[in-house]
Amino acid sequence: MYSHSMRLNAEEEDILAGKRGDTLRKAMESIVRFGDVFGADSLVDLDHGVHLVTSFGIPLLGPVFDIMDELIASGLKTPEPFTVDPRPYDFANVPVGPIEKLIFRKVMYSRQEDYEGQLKKVGLKNDRAFTCACYFDEVGNIPARGAMLAWAESSAVVYANSVLGARSNRNSGVLELMCGIVGKAPRFGFLTDEGRAASWVIELNTTVCPEAQLLGSAIGMKVIEDVPYIRGLDRYLGGELDDRARDYLKDMGAATASNGAVGLYHVEGLTPEAKDKGKALVRKDAKVYVIDDAEIARIKAGYPMMWKDADAKPTRCFVGCPHLSRSQLYGWVDRLEASLKAAGRKRVAVPTVLTTAPDVEAAFRADAQAAARLKATGATLSSICPLMYMNNPLCGKKPVITNSNKLRTYTKARYYTDAEILAIVSGGRA
């Protein structure tokens, strides 16, 4: 039996001793060892369903699929239904050529259907539960403030911690499922008050509200995995977490988490803990990072050019990594229409895909007028994961543009601001 350091209750000890089966023992041992590495003092009960990062049946994860089989054979599943990241392909709304389709189905994601079957058996909420933004109202995996979580998707973790005030560490894939199966997580890091204190103060001194994806990129690259306390952003976003503020923070947070490894940020006067505790959240030895217009410009200019031909005409544009909220989706329809009209065009010049959660997609398509307006622009709507879509040898080499700093970081997609994206897909230049 593993000799643990943290404090366990009698039931937890029994599970770790294998008294409730060897598979559950391994799940428990995984999270206890994990907690011990980080100095956890105990396990806490999860207050809410988990969110998994692994949504793709990629054959290299064969050993993970073996674990899933073992869980299923032992009759184990999560007590609460869980959500999972988006699917890697959507041939109906993101068409690919026959060779690409073959590679997707037979090589890259040949285990997709099998894996989705495994997910259902261990507790997947439903067939529509595939999104990185599980916290949207339409999806419903929304933890309350203070809820103990064990999530993995980095953009979801940082949103849950920062905007919702829930408490999750940045868990590795599969570890989050182990926590879900056991119904517990080790108490350390962001699950504790001490772990939520800020070690950076970000002074936002820009003359206009910066693009969320650029501000997040700058913060992530500077603080890496530390907790920043952001001052000055409430000047632009106000003091209430309305749709606009939540959407901005979603995109900014995803950039902090992918350009660095931020799992929690506080925004003075806006996010729940910052509103309650203010500067008391900031450590005495916190460092300061000043962001002005020049710094935002410097960050953007520093992104490497990953295309072989810098002047190549884009073959696809992705908007929605992380997935677009319903309000963002309607906003993009308005802006696409206006931009196309100003350019004297009826349809987009670059195949453009807006991505959102399946439940949001369904709600949007149910609005026939809005769906028709989007269709008229030539853009399409999908619940695909652009990152997984681009993560193959053929798609990865194509000149793709995006307004996502996460997609830029993990693929060869080229980043543009929203305004630049609109100009390009309307037939102009950035």
390 neighbors 396 (Cβ within 8 angstroms): yes
Pick the stretch among 30-38, 92-100, 118-126, 416-424 that binds another protein (CB under 8 A): 30-38
- Does 152 bind another protein (CB under 8 A)? Our answer is yes
Report in angstroms the alpha-carbon separations of 64 from 34, 71, 405: 18, 11, 29
283, exposed or middle or buried, with CB in 10 Å at 0-12, 13-18, 19+?
A: middle
Q: How far, in whole angstroms, is CA 207 from its chain's centroid?
A: 29
Regarding 54 and contact with another protein (CB under 8 A), the answer is yes
User: With contacts defined by CB under 8 A, how many residues of the chain interact with another protein?
Assistant: 35
3-state DSSP call for residue 240?
coil
Could you tell me which stretch among 63-71, 73-81, 333-341, 372-380 binds another protein (CB under 8 A)?
A: 63-71
Shortest distance, position 174 Cβ to another protein, whole Å: 4
From 151-159, 269-277, 310-318, 338-346, give the range in contact with another protein by CB under 8 A.
151-159
Question: ∠ at Cα 233 (165, 258), nearest 5°?
Answer: 65
Which range binds another protein by CB under 8 A, 58-66, 97-105, 266-274, 348-356? 58-66
66 binds another protein (CB under 8 A): yes
Say which amino acid occupies 153. E
Give the orientation angle of helix 154-162 with respect to helix 243-259, to 10 degrees.
Answer: 130
Q: By CB under 8 A, is residue 62 in contact with another protein?
A: yes
Q: Which positions from 172 to 191 touch another protein by CB under 8 A, shown as an x/- string?
A: xxxx-------------x--
DSSP string, 160-173: HHHTS--B---PPT
Could you tell me the smallest distance in angstroms from the CB atom of residue 139 to another protein? Answer: 19
288, burial (CB in 10 Å: exposed 0-12, middle 13-18, buried 19+): exposed
171 binds another protein (CB under 8 A): yes
First-residue to last-residue Cα distance in the chain: 61
Contact flag: residue 141 with another protein (CB under 8 A): no
Give the burial string for 125-139 (b: 16+ CB within 10 Å, else e): beebbbbbbbbbebb
162 or 352: CB nearest another protein: 162
Supply the minimum distance, in Å, between the C-beta of residue 354 and another protein. Answer: 23
Q: Closer to another protein by CB, 126 or 172: give it.
A: 172
Rounded to 5°, the CA angle 163-201-172 comes to 50
Q: Does 58 bind another protein (CB under 8 A)?
A: yes
Q: Specify the residue, 175 or 336, whose C-beta has the smaller distance to another protein.
A: 175
371 binds another protein (CB under 8 A): no
Binding residues for another protein, per CB under 8 A?
26, 29-30, 33-34, 37-38, 53-54, 58-64, 66-67, 70, 108, 152-154, 157, 169-175, 189, 225, 261, 410
